[in-house]
Amino acid sequence: MDYQDVVGQVLSAVKPHIGAGQVADYIPDLARVDPNQFGFAIATVDGQVYSDGDVDVPFAIESISKVFALALVLPKRDTKIWDRVRREPSGLAFNDLIQLEVENGIPRNPFINPGAIVTTDQLLADTGDAVAAMRALLRAETGNPHLEVDSVTAESELRTGDRNRAIAYLMASFGNMVNPVDLALDHYFRQCSFSITCAELAKVGLIIARHGLRVDGSRLLEEGDTRHIIALMATCGTYDEAGNFAYRVGLPIKSGVGGGMLAIVPGICSVATWGPGLDPKGNSATGALALETFAQVSGLAVF
Ligand code: GLN
């Protein structure tokens, strides 16, 4: 496969649409991002990166961090994470509250906000510092020792995070939070605010594409755990559009409201896109088009 040619074809298809969608504005700091940017990167399991566009511009990782929080929690065998969060698509927005009330404070899956808050709460209990655990992982896999939380984004999330606060307190009322709620939320907001580039994101995704192996060859996840993460990405990774993405793209994907998307071709490569404009469900408009084109051109869709 000529990956650089695939990247070129994706860029040509997306170019006329750069700027499409609306930047997230419910987190004020994200509303300041210039929507006329786009990057696309493929990292193959042998560590090569093929990329074009704005691949070295940092953006907020947001919900894509939920994949790595789960990856850090799953290896702890004594963790009862699956008593605290289920493995079903929600069919609702990522910050919905009603289903959580009806279902006794047990979130549908780890990739919507309530499920991710529970996962970060668990990581905090397991490690004493969820953000530090994630920072260490992201730095090691990207090789960037300066990769860091953007404190302005984190402060913006904290200031406007009343809905996430409502979600976390609702779960606490059902006994599904182990740390003080505000402490767990502080870690969640900062985890979402890690500043990462498209090329870096593709490299971190290789942990999943390599069935759990880290860049140094050590094992983070058992193969079974990786399979579970991939299954959850495919069924829940793009919120209430997961069915449509399975249909249009045919790959496991996780998106974030910073405009990033991460797709995995198991055993072959990790693909990252970044375009800040979102569709009404919160997925990157240009990212969706890029991944659809990638799947068509490469023939690597798994469905
Ligand atoms: N930090 C964002 C929030 O909590 C993450 C949501 C997302 O990327 N879908 O709302």
Residue-wise pLDDT for 257-295, tens only, equals 999 999 999 999 999 999 999 999 999 999 999 999 999
Give a yes or no: residue 89 inside a domain: yes
Is position 62 within any domain?
A: yes
- CATH (domain of 28): 3.40.710.10
Give yes or no for residue 94 CB within 6 A of ligand 1. Answer: yes
- CA of 142 from ligand 1 middle (Å) equals 22
Ligand 1, from 26, 113, 274: best to mutate by most atoms within 8 Å of Cβ?
113
> Do the beta carbons of residue 20 and residue 277 sit within 8 Å?
yes
Asked whether 193 lines ligand 1 (CB < 6 A), one says: no
Q: State mean pLDDT over 104-121.
A: 98
| pLDDT(10) > 80 | yes
* 147 occurs within a structural domain: yes
Q: Is 59 near ligand 1, meaning CB less than 6 Å away?
A: no
Residue 157 Cβ < 6 Å to ligand 1: yes
Angle (CA) 290 240 115, round 5°: 110
Please give the pLDDT value at position 193: 98
Q: Ligand 1 atom closest to Cα of 63? A: 8
Establish if 303 belongs to a structural domain. Answer: no
Q: What is the pLDDT of residue 78?
A: 73
Whole-number pLDDT of residue 77: 76
Give the pLDDT confidence score for residue 141 in this predicted structure.
Answer: 98
Q: Does a structural domain hold residue 163?
A: yes
pTM for the full model? 0.97
Q: Domain span at residue 185?
A: 3-298
Tell me the per-residue pLDDT of 176-205, one tens digit each, with 9 for 90 and over.
Answer: 999 999 999 999 999 999 999 999 999 999
pLDDT digits (tens, 9 = 90+) for 62-107: 999 999 999 999 998 777 899 999 999 999 999 999 999 999 999 9
Residue nearest ligand 1's atom 2 by CA: 62
pLDDT of residue 65: 98
Confidence at residue 235, expressed as pLDDT on a 0 to 100 scale: 97
Counting other chains too, the contacts that 92-99 makes at CB distance below 8 Å and 24 or more residues apart are 92/239, 92/240, 93/239, 93/240, 93/281, 93/282, 94/63, 94/239, 94/282, 95/163, 95/164, 95/167, 97/163, 97/166, 97/167, 97/170
Kindly give the number of the ligand 1 atom that is closest to the alpha carbon of 239.
Answer: 9
Domain count, the chain: 1
The pLDDT, as a whole number, for residue 191 is: 98
